[in-house]
């Protein structure tokens, strides 16, 4: 089974305002509400690609109930720990001349509630896939991803980590199956400027030397780059389309990559489906549909660098 972890999920309230004027009443031209959070995004795309998964994490209050009910309506399975103190956050995403985001805080998670979450993690078995996505709430220890990976270290579980800077660097000693920083995050990790593809390959291989089995770098309009566990380097092209939504594109790439790998056991095909899935979300107002992914995958070219 595939498990996705979203420690601080959200209701994403996406609104379009013709012209945002601060200090005045602004009328919304278009609005949408989605269950949000990086792991939840991965779960939704996995389902679109015919892969079952179980969404894990924490929810609280009436907004937490909305998350669970929304996933049920999408025929998605979840096993969230219900938290007593606070409520699942609401993130407001304002699309106007430029994008503005206001993200909520989320609930306070007690030690007892965290231990209940660990009990769920302890039930994972050999052959499972565990996807850790996004940030760790401020009320929890920043070593939480490390603690999770330590708990599953001696089981045959493939762990995928999509997180930023130290959250990602600190788990490399546990040899995650896949990590997926973007090119900007890669530069930040090593405090360098990446001027070309050769630079990206060099530092992606550094992450592999530090413990990651496979390193997938999303590069926006420049495609994606994979350094595989057998040290092969693949570069994907991008499909043609108008970018209307940057939210969830990286999560979609992770889901597409894992789905492609499970179906083909081939890294080139995994990268192809990952690139198509990420592009399809970027070209959509919500997450990608299967129909658009299937259309775009025909446009994706994979180049083997070495």
Domains along the chain?
2-304 (3.40.1190.20)
pLDDT at 37: 92
Strand order across the 99-102 sheet: 30-36, 10-16, 89-95, 99-102
- 52, 111, 122, 251: the active-site residue: 251
pLDDT at 241: 84
Under the banding of pLDDT at 50, 70 and 90, the label for residue 166 is confident
Distance of alpha carbon 46 from alpha carbon 180, whole angstroms: 16
Catalytic: 286?
no
Of 74, 182, 83, the residue nearest 137 (C-alpha): 83
Distance of alpha carbon 252 from alpha carbon 297, whole angstroms: 13
Distance of alpha carbon 187 from alpha carbon 8, whole angstroms: 26
Query: How many Å is the Cα radius of gyration of the chain?
Result: 19
pLDDT at 248: 87
> Residue 245: is its pLDDT beyond 80?
no
pLDDT at 38: 93
Residue 90 backbone dihedrals phi, psi, to 5 degrees: -115, 125
Q: Mean pLDDT throughout 138-143?
A: 91
Distance of alpha carbon 83 from alpha carbon 67, whole angstroms: 13
Classify the C-alpha dihedral 274-277-282-283 as positive or negative: positive
pLDDT (tens digit, 9 = 90+) per residue, 13-36?
Answer: 989 999 999 999 999 999 989 898
Q: Mean pLDDT throughout 260-265?
A: 96
Under the banding of pLDDT at 50, 70 and 90, the label for residue 160 is very high
């Amino acid at each position: 089974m595939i498990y996705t972890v979203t420690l601080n999920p959200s209701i994403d309230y996406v609104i379009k305002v013709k012209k945002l004027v601060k200090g005045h009443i602004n009328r919304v031209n278009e609005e949408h509400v989605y269950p949000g959070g990086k792991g939840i995004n991965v779960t939704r795309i996995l389902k679109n690609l015919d892969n079952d998964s179980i969404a894990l994490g924490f929810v609280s209050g009436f907004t937490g109930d909305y998350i669970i009910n929304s996933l049920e309506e999408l025929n998605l399975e979840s096993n969230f720990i219900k938290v007593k103190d606070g409520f699942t956050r609401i993130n407001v995403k304002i699309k106007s001349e430029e994008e503005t985001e206001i993200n909520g805080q989320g609930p306070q998670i007690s030690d007892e509630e965290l231990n209940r979450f660990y009990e769920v993690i302890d039930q994972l078995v050999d052959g499972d896939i565990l996807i850790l996505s996004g940030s760790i709430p401020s009320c929890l220890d920043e070593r939480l991803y490390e603690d999770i990976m330590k708990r599953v270290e001696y089981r045959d579980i493939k762990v995928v980590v999509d997180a930023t800077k130290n959250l990602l660097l600190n788990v490399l000693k546990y040899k995650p199956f896949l990590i997926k920083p973007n090119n900007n995050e890669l530069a930040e990790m090593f405090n360098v400027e990446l001027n070309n593809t050769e630079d990206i390959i060099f530092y992606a291989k550094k992450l592999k030397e530090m413990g990651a089995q496979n390193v997938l770098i999303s590069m926006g309009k420049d495609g994606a780059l994979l350094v595989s566990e057998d040290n092969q380097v693949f570069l994907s092209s991008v499909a043609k389309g108008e970018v209307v939504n940057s939210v969830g594109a990286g999560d979609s790439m992770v889901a597409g990559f894992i789905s492609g790998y499970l179906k083909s056991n081939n890294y080139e095909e995994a990268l192809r489906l990952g690139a198509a899935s990420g592009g399809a979300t970027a070209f959509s107002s919500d997450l990608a549909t299967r129909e658009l992914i299937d259309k775009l995958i025909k446009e994706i070219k994979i180049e083997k660098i070495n």
